[in-house]
Structure 1
Amino acid sequence: MTDTNLSKKYQDFLSTEQFADTEAKHFILDVQEVYLSDNRPWVIGYSGGKDSTAVLILIYLALLDLPKAKRHKQVFVVASDTLVETPVVVDHITKSLDAIQLGAIRDELPITTHKVIPDTKQTFWVNLLGKGYPAPTRQFRWCTERLKIDPVSDFIKDKVSKYDEVIVILGSRSQESQSRAQVIARHKITGTRLARHTTLTNAFIYTPIDTWSVEDVWKIIKDLDEYDAPWGASNYGLWLLYLGSSQGECPMVIDESTPSCGNSRFGCWTCTVVTKDRAMESLIESGDDWMEPLLKFRNMLAETGVVENKNTFRNHKRRTGRVSYKWATKGQDITDERGHIPGPYWLSYRKKWLKELLEIEKTLNEKGHSIELITKPELHAIRKEWLTDPNEPDWEDSLPQLYRSVYNADLDWVYDDNVNFDKHDAEILKELGEEHGVDAEMIMKLIEVENSMAGLSQRRGIFNKLESVLKQDWGSYEEILDKHSKYQSKKDFDIHADRIKKLDDAVSQLEKLDREFN
């Protein structure tokens, strides 16, 4: 740091301060050594929280201190937006990324900022409101991989395909997460500061502040330049987000060893992994009371996960069309009564909740809060999921009307001329089903299979598809239980076996006749 490009203020700070009982300038030199050791680009995981901000400040200073000729490789700062982030945090991250990019351009640093989002088919609302997935719990935390791990992993894979190898920089600290520290330690490469990525080939991990304490983190954020970051933005707002709260942050999630973001100010406002969202409550108590409708909506979702409420909100069938039971425990007789596993949320509740969500969004915007709680692509994807729902197809195609009832406007909806049924058709089939003692939904599904194969020169597999529909459980939960009770084995039960055998015999006879005449 003899011929430094750093301002005197930064030089004085790095010369006098210590982190983890080590001179601050040691960490600058460490970052520079790793940066200059090869040509592999860096991907910095940025969550907007204190740890990722601290590591970014450190790296920014280290690059700023290097001669321009030595700033030879690209540094990608990537933030993951789950599309259900706490609103105040979304605003903070967006402004921070913009400021970092402007600062890097001004200082001629090879830094670019990027925000990644989940694939539309994998977002929180498409899964919960579209497919009916239950609100996440500690036992069924389906959200983390879809919303956080996959988008970041895809970004890293893209860079690996372009550069062969990349180094991922994380703000992980041993004090913050012992489990995460142990995972990284197990994958350490002897003689280097790097560790192998636990799941991604040709990606490596570098944790520059792994020995720092939380006091060290706040020291570089607050004391470097009176809250001002080297890229030109103030970190005072970040300090206020944490002020008066014991909650942590949601780290950049790159694999399943990363701890849950529950109770974090840098997590999702919809998070139901924790019993109470104390972070959101604290924000509201601190003056952001406009977010109270979001907290109420989140609490409502959490209530659906209470054991005694599950059968109220959720279908008795899984998305496979079958009623499922818990596995028999060791030593339990297979014929013993076993717990029922409820399926997705009933479509009626999903419709109700979507309307409430849109109403909250509309009201907040009318009050001056520019916010998008659910995106237009998500609405299109949810509509598609409803139309093709395996248990309750939305033959009314109700989402366009639902949206219109809230916003008095239409989106650019795509209407399929090949949709099998409308509300009138469904009512007729239900009347006929009651008259003949047949489940109307089953008949609709059978007709859907036939229509999907219509016009094809090769109709192979149609009977397998028809068989699959016939094997599903039809009727009310009580009716299905009654049918199941007549069979010793719940899993091998097939009420339509005789009917399927007759169909198979008929097909075989037709095929035989076809061969004889052709």
Structure 2
Amino acid sequence: MADQSTMSASALAGRYREIQQVYLSDKRPWVVGYSGGKDSTCTLQMVWAALSQLPPEQRQKPVYVISSDTRVETPVIVRYIDVTLERIQVAAEAQGLPIKTEKVMPTTDRSFWVNLIGRGYPAPSRRFRWCTERLKIQPADDFIKQRVAEFGEVVMVLGVRSSESATRAQVMSFHRIKGSALSRHSSLLNAFVYAPIEALSTEDVWTYLLQSPSPWGNDNRDLVAMYRNAQAGECPLVVDKTTPSCGNSRFGCWVCTVVERDHSMEAMIDSGEEWLEPLLEFRDLLAETQNPEKKRLYREVRRRTGQVNFIRGTDSPVPGPYKLDFCKDLLRRLLQTQVIVQRQAPPGEAPILINDAELHEIRRLWRTERGDWADSVPAIVRDALGHDLDWIVEDAVSFTADDGKLLEEVCQAHDVPTELVVQLLDIERDAHGLKRRHAVHTKIEDLIRQEWRDLDTIIAARRAGRNDATSEDQELELEEEPELPFSNLGAAG
């Protein structure tokens, strides 16, 4: 391996020999993480070159090249990745290499828009970065688990380097298998990690890419230009939590609000991609909702659990999910942004910001979990896009917008929380026609236990020491916390 600024011919030959030895040492298939950035491109090119030097009869073990698409990647990067994956597949088949390409994406129920607009999750922040697990870790882990189920074990080939992440280097060193180039994965059973460029410097990587032509026909100078235009580092394939995330002005998700400003998107616009400007404006709208002074405008007081929690030592409630009315406004603005961007995008590159499946799932969540009796999604889509989708026709026991208005009048007259009655009626609607209704009473009891008093009453009771539901031991030091925690499966580069 190279510790200097460039690799000698003998050092490069040594890299190729090690890759060949690891490949031939067992029958475990390889999964190469490819993000389109410099490190993963360098890794894949080295693997490609090393395997090409083997006789055809030794190139039998499958090599899966997977790329993560969060569905909210910057369109310029999506275009680059899609074209590259297609070139990789065509070139691999032509050159007799056992390489197969695959994009991994979050399922619809985990997607960014379903969580943000459907469930009301706030825009990701350093304190509540819910996106990485759902959009990156789980899709990659799902693919790896499928290969483990098929082959028993897999080797993940990652473009990670010790000089880029001290944490990653420490973890890999801790999990290193004695006498082997492999490490055990930090969290996935039967998965091993191989990092061919672990000891390379950044200059080594760029030197290799500029001196070694792409075997699938890309021009690596385009990669240099993309980095220069974005003024950014790459966004790695994430398969465990030790991998650097993309919150440091790296090109990646265009909706990223972990950073204060999206310098990479701004740089792309300045370099000639002006059609991306509406995306930046929408991203800035999401970032605005993180302003502490304005959170009460956009966020519910109650959490998704139905309770009200307070920041430790204060009478300030921890903000809950986005209000339904604001979610409706976000959906409307997102669709309008999509129309504008598609109109201004270069020919053949018009992006779909939110797909039909996500719109159907948002509609379902609003109807079943958020009391949207007005069935707002179809009307918002029709107004923004000028056409209808193939909406599911609901049964006769569904409530309407007129029902909602009447119910609100009745509840106000009797000083009863409208949302409470709405959810009680929804429980009854869901149980309509069932022969066994034993779960209905449990759901009703759970709903009644939620906090339905107004905030002033809660604070007054809290100050008087009478509010057991928000006692000191239940207060939170952090401003936000995950509402629906997922298992720690791990993340990769």
Q: Report the more deviating stretch, 472-481 or 283-292.
A: 472-481
Q: Secondary structure at the match of 1:77?
A: strand
Question: CA–CA distance in 2 between the matches of 1:403 and 1:20?
Answer: 59
Q: Report the CA distance between 1:458 and its aligned residue.
A: 3.0
Question: CA–CA distance in 2 between the matches of 1:468 and 1:109?
Answer: 57
Q: Does 1:221 align with 2:209?
A: yes
Assess, with a 3 A threshold, how the Cα gap between structure 1 residues 24 and 402 changes in structure 2: closer, same or farther: same
Assess, with a 3 A threshold, how the Cα gap between structure 1 residues 33 and 351 changes in structure 2: closer, same or farther: same
Assess, with a 3 A threshold, how the Cα gap between structure 1 residues 453 and 364 changes in structure 2: closer, same or farther: closer
Assess, with a 3 A threshold, how the Cα gap between structure 1 residues 186 and 136 changes in structure 2: closer, same or farther: same
Q: Secondary structure at the match of 1:78?
A: strand
Question: CA–CA distance in 1 between the matches of 2:447 and 2:34?
Answer: 47
Give 1:236-385 correspondences, 5 Å limit.
236-243=221-228, 246-327=231-312, 337-369=314-346, 370-385=350-365
Contact 2:68 2:136 in 1 (8 A): yes
Question: CA–CA distance in 2 between the matches of 1:84 and 1:466?
Answer: 38
Question: CA–CA distance in 2 between the matches of 1:478 and 1:296?
Answer: 36
Stretches of structure 2 that go unaligned for 5 or more consecutive residues are: 472-493
Q: Does 1:121 align with 2:109?
A: yes
Which protein is bigger by CA-based radius of gyration? 1
The aligned residue for residue 70 of structure 2 is 82
Q: Secondary structure at the match of 1:431?
A: helix
Question: CA–CA distance in 2 between the matches of 1:441 and 1:36?
Answer: 63
- Report the identity percentage: 45
The aligned residue for residue 405 of structure 1 is 383
Q: Report the CA distance between 1:288 and its aligned residue.
A: 1.1
Q: Secondary structure at the match of 2:251?
A: coil
The aligned residue for residue 198 of structure 1 is 186
Q: Report the CA distance between 1:21 and its aligned residue.
A: 9.5
Q: Does 1:179 align with 2:167?
A: yes
Q: Report the more deviating stretch, 146-155 or 244-253.
A: 244-253
What one-letter code is carried by the residue in structure 1 that aligns with 2:351? I
Contact 1:86 1:265 in 2 (8 A): no
TM-score (norm 2): 0.90
Question: CA–CA distance in 2 between the matches of 1:66 and 1:137?
Answer: 47
The aligned residue for residue 432 of structure 1 is 410
The C-alpha deviation readout for 1:420-460, integer Å capped at 9, x for no partner, is: 42111111111111222222222222222233333333332
Higher relative contact order (CA 8 A, sep 6+): 2
Question: CA–CA distance in 2 between the matches of 1:243 and 1:450?
Answer: 58
Stretches of structure 1 that go unaligned for 5 or more consecutive residues are: 1-16, 329-336, 494-518
Q: Report the CA distance between 1:127 and its aligned residue.
A: 0.4
Question: CA–CA distance in 1 between the matches of 2:392 and 2:89?
Answer: 38
Assess, with a 3 A threshold, how the Cα gap between structure 1 residues 418 and 429 changes in structure 2: closer, same or farther: same
2:84 pairs, out of 96, 115, 137, with 96
Assess, with a 3 A threshold, how the Cα gap between structure 1 residues 366 and 357 changes in structure 2: closer, same or farther: same
Q: Report the more deviating stretch, 474-483 or 100-109.
A: 474-483
What one-letter code is carried by the residue in structure 1 that aligns with 2:442? N
Q: Secondary structure at the match of 1:58?
A: helix
Contact 2:30 2:62 in 1 (8 A): yes
Q: Report the more deviating stretch, 425-434 or 410-419.
A: 410-419
Q: Report the CA distance between 1:382 and its aligned residue.
A: 0.9
Assess, with a 3 A threshold, how the Cα gap between structure 1 residues 126 and 162 changes in structure 2: closer, same or farther: same
Number of equivalenced pairs: 465
Contact 1:167 1:204 in 2 (8 A): yes
Contact 2:371 2:422 in 1 (8 A): no
What one-letter code is carried by the residue in structure 2 that aligns with 1:90? V
Assess, with a 3 A threshold, how the Cα gap between structure 1 residues 385 and 419 changes in structure 2: closer, same or farther: farther
What one-letter code is carried by the residue in structure 2 that aligns with 1:88? V
Q: Secondary structure at the match of 2:294?
A: helix
Q: Report the CA distance between 1:487 and its aligned residue.
A: 5.1
